[in-house]
Structure 1
Amino acid sequence: MANTAGGEGAAGGLDPVLRPVLRQVRAGNGFEEALEQILQVVRLGLVPAGERLPPERELAERMGISRVTLREVLKVLQEQGLVEARRGRYGGTFVRARPDTPAGGAEEELRRRVAGVDLEDVLRFREVLEVGAAGLCAAQGLTGEETARLTDALAATHDAQLAEYRRQDTLFHLTLCELAGSATLTAQYAAVRATVNDLLDCIPLLVRNLEHSQRQHTALVEAVLERDAEAAREVMREHCCGTAALLRGFLGPRFL
């Protein structure tokens, strides 16, 4: 997995991990859409806490906005406590660690994150997107490079420490959606996954559940590589249902 520090890949360009989320914005809503995209980068954990966002020049060019607009976006994120600016040779804009999660006892924070979220709508939409993406990847087949990307993303989830697991899990699912070949699907998935991650942060990481998820991930990749679209869709459907059951169990009806 490429190091996201500085947001640069091996070739010095924008890290491939960020490309599905950061895209050209529409002229009429440049500030709002740029803010939405960078918020997704932070909420999805694509740049880990303590690491630096890509340089302003790269971000502005990627999204098609001016440096002035980008600085206004970063100022909002600073005011929200999501990033911090550091000066000096190794300065830049760095992602700040999130406050203690509700699983650690911060019930007020849990209520804030859950407020206004239609859990069933989020879970259904996520399932539709991911089942569809899995089926598309299997039906159309992957190139050698795409196969390597998917298997590398899978390996990263297997190798991840517990504290890093959710981020690597997000990257695995985001990679699968991107490989389906629809930029619109990927953008919609990034948005819904950001909401799902906010909800997942409200519940504890359960080792048994993670082991089960890993087996499903492996079966999913095998089905995709064997071009068995029906099996890929079924594995993904079961996987999404497992996550949905955990969220319903932990978050309802006390908080919903």
Structure 2
Amino acid sequence: MTGTEPGNEAGTEAGTAGARSADRLTSVLRPVRAGNGFEEALEQILQVVRLGLVPAGGRLPAERELAERLGISRVTLREVLKVLQDQGLIESRRGRYGGTFVLPRTDAGGEDELRRRVAAVDIEDVLRFREVLEVGAAGLCAAHGLGGAGADRLREALDRTRDAPLGEYRRLDTLFHLTVAELCGSPSLAARYAGVRASVNELLDCIPLLVRNLEHSQRQHTALVEAVLDGDADGAREIMREHCAGTAALLRGFLT
């Protein structure tokens, strides 16, 4: 029998489309930073899908190639792909013409509603302002030092986020970050932060809760508290900057 078997035409065409798009991926897929590997890898592959660099029905590069391009392990990559599969954006197929394929979008009003919810928000402005305030607050807490009561408040806020039910995590996470802002010694900064955090939470409510991201955030919270209580201002600022960057990567990936 010559030519392409009818049952394999879709797989062959999808594979060809994936090959044609490979050169266009260079501008999007790049090695991620070690601190936020999962979040930044997810952001980049979401960009590939949402920008249509691999069209619906097209095949993403093989796992080995994706992992090498992103500079992450195959284990981390599979966790990223699992998130995208759970969101109905891709599917994995086995067999000779298998691989990871981009699924057609089924809007049903969801995407339009999402656009309406974020249309009035300047996402980049919110994320940058949030980073300035949070990094500054963390540095001030560490530089000025926390008394016994302040240190206890910070530890208690951290403890409440540990083993929190999934549905409660974002609320307790918000309270932890508000505590850092309130303890920095600047009521003006704390008030501004409360406002920007409300905007951040509206954006976070538009994206799924990802267990891998929450576990990573919790490790960063713990490191931040240790740096603050040790009086390590530079360390506290750097940890908070990296923490904000991880959240920003997820929000940009899902919402922009």
TM-score range, shorter chain: 0.5 to 0.7
Residue 118 of structure 2 is aligned with which of 86, 94, 114?
Answer: 114
Count how many residue pairs are aligned between Structure 1 and Structure 2: 148
Partner in structure 1 of residue 233 of structure 2:
229
Correspondence for 1:154 = 158
Q: What's the CA shift for 1:108?
A: 4.3
Aligned-partner Cα distance in 2 for 1:109–1:185: 33
Structure 2 match to 1:167 = 171
1:179 to 2:183 alignment: yes
Q: What is the SS of the residue equivalent to 1:117?
A: coil
Correspondence for 1:24: none
| Distance (Å, rounded) in 1 between the aligned partners of 2:167 and 2:113 | 19
- Rounded to whole Å, the distance in 1 between the matches of 2:113 and 2:160 is 30
TM-score where L is the length of structure 2: 0.56
Matches of 2:157 and 2:116, distance apart in 1: 32
Superposition deviation, residue 206 in structure 1: 0.3
CA deviation vs aligned residue, 1:92-130 (integer Å, no higher than 9, x gap): xxxxxxxxxxxxx84444223201211111100000000
Residue 194 of structure 1, CA deviation? 0.3
The alpha-carbon deviation at position 181 of structure 1 amounts to 1.1
Amino acid at match of 1:210: L
User: Which residue identity is paired with 1:169?
Assistant: D
Which contiguous aligned blocks of 4+ residues in structure 1 show a shift greater than 4 angstroms?
none
Q: In structure 2, what is the Cα distance between the partners aligned to 1:155 and 1:115?
A: 36
Aligned position for 2:140: 136
> The residue matched to 1:203 in structure 2 has which SS?
coil
CA-based RMSD: 1.1
Please, which of 217, 220, 245 is the counterpart of residue 221 of structure 2? 217
How many angstroms does 1:222 deviate by? 0.1
Q: Structure 1: state its 5+ residue gaps.
A: 1-104
Matched, 1:249 2:240: no
Q: Pick the structure with more helix per residue.
A: 2
TM-score by length of 1: 0.56
Partner amino acid, structure 2, of 1:170 = T
Bigger Rg, which one: 2
- Aligned residues: percent identity? 76
